[in-house]
Chain A
Amino acid sequence: MSTISKPWDKDPVLTVEHLTMRFGGLVAVNDLSFSAGRGDITALIGPNGAGKTTVFNCITGFYKPTTGMMTMRHKDGATHLLERMPDFVVSKKAKVARTFQNIRLFSGMTLLENLLVAQHNPLMIASGMTFLGVLGIGGYKAKERQAIEKAKYWLDKIKLTDRADDPAGDLPYGAQRRLEIARAMCTGPALLCLDEPAAGLNPRESAELNELLLGIRRDEDTSILLIEHDMSVVMEISDHVVVLEYGTKISDGTPAETKNDPRVIAAYLGVDDEEVDKVEHELDEVQAHHTQGSGQ
């Protein structure tokens, strides 16, 4: 165990401290603490039922955690305590956007409309809280044109511009996933939470998704927190991996570190304790060997 402070602890965009969520007798998340670095792609992984989505629902305000503190730090130094906010304020003020495990698009609305709904709050102000907009005064038209431009920018990014005027429900599955990400990005988030974005994608779509996420990290002021099962996605694009099992954190480190963490391997492969001991022992030996090697 290294004692050096991790890079994501230096300037975290989100810190979760002692988060616990109970449903009746069931402890879904147990005393979880981790931080997500600014500009990083942080992955939250773990076997089915590990409590990953519950963590997301707590962060985005859909669940009130039993105990714990979740802090968003914006670039300008403003901090927001997420556990005190109702869900829509988390998105509006704390600038946390999210997608859903089972896609939640506005299927009867066009792609463009989906992206315009995401810009609701600034557009509401532009329409004078509707009053001026109904009367047709106050320059709402120009603001709406800007919003459409922004939507077009994201449609270009997800390569769906030519389908802008089709209903979202008509899109193929992979495109719906991308549209949901674009819609979340249209809210201008500081943190984007993606719930299994690669689920159900074919290899080509999966590669496109990686490209999109890396593009967001490169071009936007948005950090990403994602839940993922697909290890190739996690290993390829994430900077930091947090592993959950039965609601408890069992590992926290770089992708390479977690990949070799015996507890992670055990959790994923379901080996018995004896074998874990064996693997741990072997790893210790390897590590000892390495340190010796570097010492020379």
Chain B
Amino acid sequence: MEVFIQQVINGITIGSLYGLIAIGYTMVFGIIGMVNFAHGDVFMVSAFFALIFFLALTAWLGIASITITLLIVMVISMVLTGLLSWAIERIAYSPLRGSFRLAPLISAIGMSIVLSNFVQVAQGPRNKPIPPMVRETFTLWENNGYAVTISLKQVIIMAVTAVLLVAFWYMVQKTALGRAQRACEQDRKMAGLLGINVDRTISLTFVIGAALAAVAGTLYLMYYGVVHFADGFTPGVKAFTAAVLGGIGSLPGAVLGGLLIGLIETLWGQYVSADYQNVAAFSILVIVLIFMPQGLLGRPEVEKV
């Protein structure tokens, strides 16, 4: 029982990260119907931004307070990653809007290759470990010598995710931008005719998705204390799985999917086989897509004849 609860805590932590990344996938898919393949690598680059500015703040500027550092690093990473995603959208996707359907996907795969290899070349191929930022761990209870613990890192991750989701939910539901976004999802042409700046709405969607991925990237760096240029692919695919599991296009679905994938992954690793942890995640993706393509919270698609 204690082991189970411990794994649930770990699972929710990882799941929160997946959920944050998954929102980027689900929003972009919702608005332009494209799997933004480079999103996982955007997440990886955001972790590198966080790494670089963490080192700059602590080593060069000598800021000692970890809270302030973390906050500044996260904001910088969000801004820069948003900018990066904006640039990618302008360069690689927006010229292809309305053309051949496979072209944006191939372009996105190309961008994903570019990002990971660029980071490899610019920052080197090795793992980038940093000393732990946050060390505190709380023991929730102890039983038979097994202590269920939750680390401050995990608390931070869960709290930041929850706060951001609420803010984000508010934005999508209540603001003009959110309305424009939902309008573009429904019918891009009509939204344009009604005076919505469709290009800007799409760009902003990419920026927001990237900013959330940057939060995940910063938290990922804090949680694991290490980042590597190839770290975008697997979390990217898992986050996409989360988006699909929750029902692609649905924002609460993306978060729910993220948490489920996180839980399934950690529990599978604990109780079944650690070796086949990733196989489990991919199998879920396959099974969900085959048997429940609309996902948990998505709307079913009716074939138009």
Contacts and interface: CB of A to CB of B under 8 A. Distances in A.
Whether A and B are associated in the same complex: the answer reads yes
Interface of A: 23, 53, 57, 62-63, 100
A100 B305 CA distance: 8
A186 to B, nearest CB: 20
A62 B305 CA distance: 8
Contacts of A23: 302
Contacts of B305: 53, 57, 62-63, 100
Interface size class of B (residues with CB under 8 A): under 10
B275 interface: no
Interface in B149-191: none
Interface of B: 302-303, 305
Nearest to A87: B305
B238 to A, nearest CB: 33
Contacts of A57: 305
Contacts of B302: 23
A1 B302 CA distance: 40
Nearest to B305: A62
7 contacts: A23-B302, A53-B305, A57-B305, A62-B303, A62-B305, A63-B305, A100-B305
B101 to A, nearest CB: 14
Contacts of A62: 303, 305
Nearest to B300: A24
Nearest to A101: B305
B63 to A, nearest CB: 58
A62 B304 CA distance: 9
A100 B303 CA distance: 14
B305 to A, nearest CB: 5
Nearest to A57: B305
A185 to B, nearest CB: 20
Contacts of B303: 62
B299 to A, nearest CB: 11
Nearest to B303: A62
A97 to B, nearest CB: 14
Nearest to B304: A102
Nearest 7 CB-CB pairs, A to B? Answer: A62-B305, A57-B305, A100-B305, A62-B303, A53-B305, A23-B302, A63-B305
A100 B304 CA distance: 11
Contacts of A100: 305
A77 B273 CA distance: 61
B204 to A, nearest CB: 33
A63 B302 CA distance: 10
B60 to A, nearest CB: 60
A198 to B, nearest CB: 19
A62 B302 CA distance: 11
B301 to A, nearest CB: 13
B100 to A, nearest CB: 12
A23 B303 CA distance: 12
A289 B303 CA distance: 52
B302 to A, nearest CB: 8
Nearest to A104: B305
